[in-house]
Structure 1
């Protein structure tokens, strides 16, 4: 696996990954995270994906194409309380189901930690949906993130995590 800087040309693959992930989540009773309809059928979500790609993101690649997507930001999104110190915020971590279980997400989070250190940030933060069976919460805890605050946004409940670097 290698990471490369992505851009607008990656929007179709990112949208396809969202669609496949939404279908998988819905099939497993987790539609509360991102809904149960393909994002490609929702103009607002298509625009969101296009914006994510245009702003720049990291794309993990393997021999058979995109293995994951990572969006990092120097500050938290508006729905999250700001950090009191320099941080790197994981805005998106998305791994296609075909690459699940290969530690792709873990390697991308390790990359985020390295980027934070390189940019003088001592903190990496991320938030995730807490519904379903709690798998996302356990995922981030298993990668060393500490839960610091729960909050509600857009009708859902989320957990904010932080990791010191």
Structure 2
């Protein structure tokens, strides 16, 4: 497993991982998290990924040279979460390609996020996630050392902000 900085040329690989995650989620009956259409087929989603990557530091995990996971770290959250009252690093668009689920890809990306946060001299790492489906994703982040902070709702989409302090 290798984690590398991504660039604009990696947008197709990032979209492919996100598309695979949508298919995997839908296969588990989870359609409310990221919908049922692939990211790459929704122009607003493609623009969101492009914009988020440009605002921060996108990262790709490769397993045997294949993109296995993606994440972008930004100095602020997306539009539905208020920024912190202190410097922060925010995990955005974290996803694992379905072919690599259960191999620690997400955990490796989150540890990389922690290392980057410390490297920048920042003490707050935050993430927001889908809180539906029995809170499984929230529990995953808690298992990775994050603590719940504020919950929020966008339309009918339940979300949870979590933080990790250093």
**TM-score (normalizing by structure 2):** 0.91
Q: Provide the rounded CA distance (Å) in 2 between the counterparts of 1:107 and 1:19.
A: 20
The answer on 1:17 being equivalent to 2:9 is: no
Per-residue CA deviations over 1:42-85 (Å, capped at 9, x if unaligned) read 22112223334445401111214112111001122221122122
Match of 2:50? 50
Relative to structure 1, the CA distance from residue 105 to residue 48 in structure 2 (aligned partners, 3 Å threshold; closer, same or farther) is same
Relative to structure 1, the CA distance from residue 33 to residue 67 in structure 2 (aligned partners, 3 Å threshold; closer, same or farther) is same
Between 1:19-28 and 1:93-102, the stretch displaced more is 19-28
Unaligned runs of 5+ in 2: none
Aligned-pair CA distance for 1:93? 1.1
Relative to structure 1, the CA distance from residue 54 to residue 77 in structure 2 (aligned partners, 3 Å threshold; closer, same or farther) is closer
Unaligned runs of 5+ in 1: none
Say how many residue pairs are matched.
165
Q: Which runs of 4+ in 1 moved over 6 A?
A: none
**TM-score (normalizing by structure 1):** 0.92
Q: Provide the rounded CA distance (Å) in 2 between the counterparts of 1:111 and 1:100.
A: 18
Is the contact between residue 17 and residue 70 of structure 2 (CA under 8 Å) also seen in structure 1? no
SS at match of 1:31: coil
SS at match of 1:114: helix
Q: Provide the rounded CA distance (Å) in 1 between the counterparts of 2:45 and 2:93.
A: 14
